[in-house]
Amino acid sequence: MDLSLHLKAEERPASARALQNGLMGKEAREEKSVHWVAPGHGSGFIGISKAIMKPLRKSRRRGFLESTFLFLLAIVTMGIAAVKILIDTGRLEEAELYAWFDRIPELPYDAGREIKRFIDARLGIEPRLAVAPAPAAARRVIIPKPAPEKPIPPFDPAKTIALTLAAHAPVSSLAFVNDNNVLVAAHEDGVVNLWNADSGALLSSLKASADSLGAVAASPDGRRLALSVGASAIQLRDAREKSTVAKLAGHAATVTRLAFSADGSLLVSVDRNAAVILWDTAEQKKIFDLPGARHEILALAVSPNGRVLAGGDLEGGIQYWDLAGGRELSYVPAHQVPVSAIAYSPDGRWLASGGQQHNLKLWGTGLSRDDRALAGGPEEVNVVQFAPDSRWLLLGGKDRPLEILDVERGEVAHRLAGHDGGVSVIAVSSDGARIATAGDDGRILLWK
């Protein structure tokens, strides 16, 4: 019995009554009346209860803590999964997620302010009157929309030269419009030429800019064309009707970069003074001024879902803007050299950026953070452009032929030689059937 109850000799009950009291949680003390003692809180034989109860209490406490931990772990896991789904489906950009993280330190202050307002209202305390700030101009709520889903066209990287066009001056931009049947070439002397992409015939030529740089961008559907005009204006043209739709005025300096949203409803422009403006192409008017660029912008790209603008600058950074809210999201020091080329993949998974000294990087836009520094690129990356299927990345660089890189493997899979020297500008038709390139040799090549 002593062994089964773990009793020492001195703790052995002296009588049946003592045994009964011990089992019932009572303790009989010498020369005192019997009184109630809670199980596990007495001495002698009653200590049996305490020895047994301690492991039980620890077990219960441990079970509660484990359950709480597993519950919190499940909540965190579900939260991470929900965020990943939002990013993978294009409803949330990684830059927007980081901007929300930046807001976290302000949340306790906002919550405290709301609690104070609630308490003051309950106690009947009148809030102190503050000097009302001047009413701000109403800002239009922008809800960018991604381009309508279409079948992804196949892209064959093994292309050959179909046409050779003469460039009278260095080319600054190329774009396919009018169902990919017309190639637009903007030259650094401000002249814009429109070529028949099938025959190579010159369709028209216009003087778009009075300054030495002509910026041009085509909407993803190829219906609209944006050109820098004069000293500070932008001209919107209908590519099919070959007519001017509107002239956008708002910049105080020459427009150097232009970019359309995926659905073509928004246009972003940057000038030499680092001013950034968002335009409505349907209503042909300015929506609002975005926060100015920190440094001179050399390349622009709009995310496929139309929510984020990325700009590569002269100091090696990438600046991100929220096109829906009209604010800066973040600034990333991406390279040690100027970022001269930048592009989003059509599926939204990647942002490619490049510069001098063989700097070429792929930035994962999801939570996986699969960022890559790619080796073997040109000494100076002039331009990057994804194929419509997002599988291939086209590279143009100094003293190198057109290179086509396999994104998943991170290796150059094809080299298309044709220019005498490097490649400075690349355009890919939306159906993936054509590539247009311009180089240092004064020629524009059409590849099929």
Buried b (16+ CB within 10 A) or exposed e, 306-331: bbbbbbbbbbbbbbbbbbebbebbbb
The whole-number pLDDT of residue 404 equals 95
Of 84, 119, 143, the domain-final residue: 84
Q: Is 359 contained in some domain? A: yes
So what's the pLDDT on residue 32? 44
Q: Is residue 362 part of a domain?
A: yes
Q: Left (φ > 0), alpha (ψ -120 to 50) or beta: where does 186 sit? A: beta
Residues 196 and 54 in one domain: no
Distance CA(66)–CA(21), nearest Å, equals 37
Mean pLDDT of 391-407: 93
Closest CA to 307 of 365, 256, 363: 365
**CA separation for the pair 350, 387 (Å, rounded):** 12
Domain boundary pick from 64, 84, 104: 84
Q: Looking at beta carbons, which pairs linking 66-75 to residues 24 or more positions away fall under 8 Å?
A: none
Percentage of residues in the chain with pLDDT exceeding 90?
38
Can you say whether the dihedral through the CA atoms of 82, 88, 89, 95 is positive or negative?
positive
What pLDDT was estimated at residue 46? 45
Q: Mark whether 271 and 371 lie in a shared domain.
A: yes
How many distinct structural domains can be found in the chain?
A: 2
Place 384 in a pLDDT band, splitting at 50, 70 and 90.
very high
Q: Say if residue 240 is in the same domain as residue 325.
A: yes
> 332: how many CB neighbours lie within 10 A of its CB?
16
Residue 138 lies in a domain: no
One domain, residues 78 and 174: no
Average pLDDT over residues 320-340: 91
Same domain, 440 and 332: yes
Q: What is the DSSP letter of 356?
A: B
Q: Give the separation between CA 231 and CA 254, rounded to whole angstroms.
A: 5
Residues 59, 168: one domain?
no
Q: Which domain holds residue 23?
A: 1-84
Give residue 232's pLDDT: 85
Looking at the structure, tell me whether residues 204 and 304 fall in a common domain: yes
| CATH code, 436 | 2.130.10.10
Per-residue confidence (pLDDT) for residue 132, from 0 to 100: 43
Residue 141 lies inside a defined structural domain of this protein: no
Do residue 265 and residue 388 come from a single domain? yes
Q: Looking at the structure, tell me whether residues 56 and 200 fall in a common domain.
A: no
In a domain, 98, yes or no: no
> pLDDT (tens digit, 9 = 90+) per residue, 2-57?
555 555 566 666 666 666 666 555 544 444 444 444 444 444 444 444 555 555 55
What are the pLDDT digits (tens) for 357-380?
A: 888 999 988 766 678 888 777 888
**279 or 86: which leads in pLDDT:** 279
Amino acid identity of residue 172, one-letter, is S
pLDDT value at 68 more than 60: yes
pLDDT at res. 237: 86
Q: What pLDDT is attached to residue 20?
A: 62
Residue 419, in any domain of the structure: yes
Query: Is there a single domain that holds both residue 277 and residue 421?
Result: yes
Picking from 270, 267, 271, the residue whose alpha carbon sits closest to that of residue 280 is 267
**Residue 423 counted as domain residue:** yes
Residue 151 lies in a domain: no
Asked if 226 and 334 sit in the same domain, the reply is yes
Asked if residue 308 lies in contact with residue 290, where contact means CB atoms within 8 angstroms, the answer is: no
Confidence band, pLDDT 50/70/90 cuts, at residue 393: very high
Locate 46 and state its tokens.
């009653």
Give the pLDDT confidence of 168-186 residue by residue, as tens digits: 999 988 999 888 999 999 8
pLDDT in tens, 118-165: 566 656 665 554 444 444 444 555 665 655 667 888 899 999 999 999
Pick the residue with more confidence: 322 or 76?
A: 322
Q: Check whether 356 has a pLDDT greater than 70.
A: yes
CA distance 161 to 180: 17
State the average pLDDT for the chain. 78
CB 281 within 8 A of CB 264: yes
Residue of higher predicted confidence among 80 and 341: 341
Residue at which a domain ends, from 25, 60, 84: 84
Q: Are residues 171 and 300 both part of a single domain?
A: yes
